[in-house]
Amino acid sequence: MDVTMMGCTFDQAQTAVPSLTRELWDDVVNEDRSHQVGQWLEAYGIVTSDEQLRTLLEALALMLGQNRVLNLTAIRDVDKALVLHLVDSALFAPPVGEYAGPVLDLGTGGGFPGLPLAILCPEHEFLLMDSVKKKVAAVQKFADVLGLAARVSTSSDRAEVLGSTMRGRFGVVTARAVAPTNVLLEYASPLVKSFGALVAGKAELSHEEEDQASSAARQVGMELVSRETLDLPDGFGHREILVYEKAGKPRVSLPRAVGMAKSNPLH
Ligand SMILES: C[S@@+](CC[C@H](N)C(=O)[O-])C[C@H]1O[C@@H](n2cnc3c(N)ncnc32)[C@H](O)[C@@H]1O
């Protein structure tokens, strides 16, 4: 898709999201913010066009506007949201770009990291999925008004259900703040194709979570191929970006019944 086709005006954005005010839009979508985000991303080797930067800011403004009437995020402060939603989501882009095929953002919530990734990775198609229907409807509205509808669709479903209905369809599954890593591995394994990947972002990975993830990975045919620790800008802490590849066959029959991955996790 031609990235110059992305983006929208304030009037289009407000038609889609009536709770979005001009004041909030102007606070988020402006040259200073665009320059700042561009510099931050460049420091991670993520090169962006002006169009992509502006569309990232528009996506954030839409989400923050919608958040006034629908609980999508606890982060309401624009400075924080720039780092914790846009930059944090963008950190997934380099590993996602290494895999061909459609991307599933599992537990997308208000569209993160899926929406920023759709803006940053124009070669990929995206399915943004969450079990909460209202969130998914809002995210589809954002994608449509941003001109991303040709490459971005949504699904209100549970990961365990898609594991059967969309088995092996995805080159990459992304997930941020959805579940412990062993649970994510179980969700992702049936969804990714051979040598596809799960890309997971974590604020903190304890030794216990790491051990449980290693054991779960072996059981579901996934293998850790990359683990990178990156500092967020402005002292917002660090992120672990974990990449697991589907390297073998699961030893357990997947997906298990809805809820089992969480209530009786593999470890
Ligand atoms: C804390 S929110 C994170 C949202 C978003 N990924 C982000 O980083 O802002 C976790 C989301 O995962 C969704 N979720 C959790 N388990 C899920 C499952 N098994 N299938 C689909 N969605 C799930 C929840 O509905 C929720 O919206």
User: Domain of 249: which CATH number?
Assistant: 3.40.50.150
Q: Which ligand 1 atom is nearest residue 111's CA?
A: 5
- pLDDT beyond 50 at 157: yes
Higher pLDDT, residue 122 or 4: 122
Ligand 1 contact, 132 CB (< 6 A)? yes
Angstrom distance (rounded) from CA 104 to CA 138 = 17
**């209100």: which residue's tokens?**
156
Q: Work out the average pLDDT over 96-120.
A: 98
What rounded mean pLDDT belongs to the chain? 96
Ligand 1 contact, 135 CB (< 6 A)? yes
Given this model, what pLDDT does residue 2 score? 47
Given this model, what pLDDT does residue 47 score? 96
Angstrom distance (rounded) from CA 214 to CA 212 = 6
From the CB of residue 18, how many other CB atoms can be counted at a distance below 10 Å? 11
Ligand 1 contact, 176 CB (< 6 A)? yes
Number of domains in the chain: 1
Angstrom distance (rounded) from CA 216 to CA 70 = 35
Q: Work out the average pLDDT over 89-108.
A: 98
Do the domain assignments include residue 3? no
Query: How would you classify the pairing of strands 222-231 and 238-246?
Result: antiparallel
Do the domain assignments include residue 220? yes
Q: Which ligand 1 atom is nearest residue 105's CA?
A: 6
The boundaries of the domain holding residue 34 are: 10-263
Binding site as annotated, residues for S-adenosyl-L-methionine: 107, 112, 159-160, 176
Q: Work out the average pLDDT over 66-77.
A: 96
Ligand 1 centre distance from Cα of residue 175 (Å): 8
Do the domain assignments include residue 1? no
Do the domain assignments include residue 31? yes
ipTM of the complex: 0.99
**Residue percentage of the chain with pLDDT more than 70:** 99
Do the domain assignments include residue 2? no
- pLDDT beyond 50 at 3: no
Given this model, what pLDDT does residue 39 score? 98
pLDDT band at 129 (very low <50, low <70, confident <90, very high): very high
